[in-house]
Structure 1
Amino acid sequence: MRKFCDKILELAGAESSGNSRGGLWAPVVVTVAAPLGRHGVCVVLSSCVQLRKVVFGCFGANASALEKEIGPEQFPVNEHYFGLVNFGNTCYCNSVLQALYFCRPFREKVLAYKSQPRKKESLLTCLADLFHSIATQKKKVGVIPPKKFITRLRKENELFDNYMQQDAHEFLNYLLNTIADILQEERKQEKQNGRLPNGNIDSENNNSTPDPTWVHEIFQGTLTNETRCLTCETISSKDEDFLDLSVDVEQNTSITHCLRGFSNTETLCSEYKYYCEECRSKQEAHKRMKVKKLPMILALHLKRFKYMDQLHRYTKLSYRVVFPLELRLFNTSGDATNPDRMYDLVAVVVHCGSGPNRGHYIAIVKSHDFWLLFDDDIVEKIDAQAIEEFYGLTSDISKNSESGYILFYQSRD
């Protein structure tokens, strides 16, 4: 108890001086007469994230406790649950890496890449080393420092080369695109090194769009932007590939509603009229975006950060957005091959706090038949019902909240 109270006082002092990481909670400390002497305190927390860290750190809710809670009979064969050390506001990175690790198709491809002949160091080789280190641990649970990966990340992109809080979605987007670029470049080099019998360099697809990689096979879907002229009824369409979908959020709604809003029809009129090639003039038109092809894993980014003109800064939309464990994309997609596709929620990156440049990120993942919460180096088992706590707040006022930010849904087929 003495250690616990000392830690509370330490964090309270840090908060009052403005040095508390993320500024997630503003404790009110009142000294009271108690047998603990100077340790008699009353602390009011506005978020449970720091409390979780304090309690777990001081009362020894360690790896062995998690292993006991899961139980030897329920613990999946060849599965490992390892927290990641935070190297100074790298929770944005840790949470995304945990989510991706439990996207099984992605994990399997990364581990398969690790088994290939050694290549020069890249962000992908560092990720493969990290995933391999987790997957081959002798212990079932524990903590691993992703130092090599973080060092490489900071070396490759100056955006992440600091100790400031970064955006988890920006990191996810950068990571997936970087891995895809690495794979395409390696394939290009292999083709250039592979000579045909006549001595010519294999130039297949040399001047065309690069072949899709396993990143595209897992995460890539296709959007279709349709515009219909209201005068001649001619429809023009343009396809656009995506690795994740960013959707607007509204108060007290669901992710299905957000997806339907994403594909709502917009009327182009007045100064926004559409230039119709058939009419050879600007005409009123209907514009609609729809999902033409659904991916194996659908990554949904909830646009919770909005620029407020009156505040001259971005603020967080802590709106309550329900995201179900099972998602059927009925009437939200134009996928002709499987318009009624069923998805299962496998991971959630959660933003905790009140703004984009401050706060904390954690990850919730599904492993086999149960759910786990990864908070940097802390791992705990949670009930499926507890996921409702991360939908957001019913109040319109922007305040501290723990709310789903990136959702990962995996297709059943």
Structure 2
Amino acid sequence: QEITLQQCLQMFIEPEVLGPDDKWYCPYCKEHMQAEKIMSVWRLPPILIIHLKRFKYYHGASYGYFSDSRVKIDTNVKYPVHDLDMAPYCSSKENSLQARYDLYSIVNHRGSAWFGHYTSYARLLSYNDSAKTEIGWRNFDDERVSSLSYDKELVRPDAYVLFYRHRNLPLNLTIN
């Protein structure tokens, strides 16, 4: 099973009809009513952090006892390493004019919903030149750091959190 990040973002902005249990309260007519919820990105940040839902929690009864259960979601999410265009998900055209991002870090989770191991990949850039020369990608695994050879190694089914950097962001920018 596989899905793209763009498909996930498209599902996020799809209009959703609120059900009978989720009716919207109208402040004008003072009643709960059927409504449609629409989500979009209001303002794009310099650093875009995308958390992929990797765990599902259930609460219910089993053999007469109440129990909680959790499952890891292993769906492979294909995400772009370069040139993520956020324009289709923005609420206004003026925010979407410069909506391009490049991946610069990934947090991975290997294991199950009950236990596992976290690693991270990070893209290293040279701070010594204005051309933003890429030094390369590194795999950070506890005390071990190793090089990653090419972009295909970066797109993995255990990606958990994606960090995208706006294309026009200066390297020496401090974000408060």
Q: TM-score, normalised by structure 2?
A: 0.77
Q: In structure 2, how many angstroms separate the alpha carbons of the residues matched to 1:301 and 1:346?
A: 14
The structure 2 residue matched to 1:371, chosen from 110, 125, 137, is 137
Aligned to 1:410: 165
Q: In structure 2, the residue corresponding to 1:405 is in which secondary structure?
A: strand
Aligned to 1:339: 96
Q: In structure 2, how many angstroms separate the alpha carbons of the residues matched to 1:315 and 1:404?
A: 16
- Residue identity opposite 1:387 in structure 2: L
Structure 1 portions without partners, runs of 5+: 1-250, 393-402
Aligned to 1:324: 80
Q: In structure 2, how many angstroms separate the alpha carbons of the residues matched to 1:339 and 1:364?
A: 28
Contact 1:264 1:289 (8 Å CA) reproduced: yes
Q: In structure 2, the residue corresponding to 1:331 is in which secondary structure?
A: helix
- Residue identity opposite 1:359 in structure 2: G
1:167-316 matched pairs, under 5 angstroms: 251-309=1-59, 312-316=68-72
Q: In structure 2, how many angstroms separate the alpha carbons of the residues matched to 1:280 and 1:342?
A: 42
Task: Point out 4+ residue stretches in structure 1 off by more than 4 angstroms.
Answer: none
Q: In structure 2, how many angstroms separate the alpha carbons of the residues matched to 1:336 and 1:365?
A: 31
Q: In structure 1, how many angstroms separate the alpha carbons of the residues matched to 2:19 and 2:72?
A: 32
* Change beyond 3 A, Cα 1:287–1:381: same
Q: 1:335: Cα distance to partner?
A: 4.4
Q: 1:278: Cα distance to partner?
A: 2.8
* Change beyond 3 A, Cα 1:385–1:269: closer
Contact 1:269 1:283 (8 Å CA) reproduced: no
Q: 1:280: Cα distance to partner?
A: 3.2
Contact 1:328 1:342 (8 Å CA) reproduced: yes
Q: 1:269: Cα distance to partner?
A: 4.2
Q: In structure 2, the residue corresponding to 1:256 is in which secondary structure?
A: helix
* Change beyond 3 A, Cα 1:270–1:385: closer
How many residue pairs get aligned? The number is 150
Aligned to 1:387: 154
Aligned to 1:129: none
Aligned to 2:130: none
Q: 1:274: Cα distance to partner?
A: 1.8
Q: In structure 1, how many angstroms separate the alpha carbons of the residues matched to 2:163 and 2:7?
A: 17
Cα RMSD for the two superposed structures: 1.9
Q: In structure 2, how many angstroms separate the alpha carbons of the residues matched to 1:271 and 1:338?
A: 34
The structure 1 residue matched to 2:109, chosen from 338, 351, 361, is 351
Structure 2 portions without partners, runs of 5+: 126-133, 169-176
Q: In structure 1, how many angstroms separate the alpha carbons of the residues matched to 2:23 and 2:77?
A: 34
Q: In structure 2, how many angstroms separate the alpha carbons of the residues matched to 1:275 and 1:412?
A: 41
The structure richer in helix per residue is: 1
- Identity among equivalent positions (%) equals 33
Larger radius of gyration: 1
Q: In structure 1, how many angstroms separate the alpha carbons of the residues matched to 2:95 and 2:27?
A: 32
Q: In structure 2, how many angstroms separate the alpha carbons of the residues matched to 1:349 and 1:269?
A: 35
Aligned to 2:171: none
- Residue identity opposite 1:321 in structure 2: V
Q: In structure 2, how many angstroms separate the alpha carbons of the residues matched to 1:312 and 1:363?
A: 29
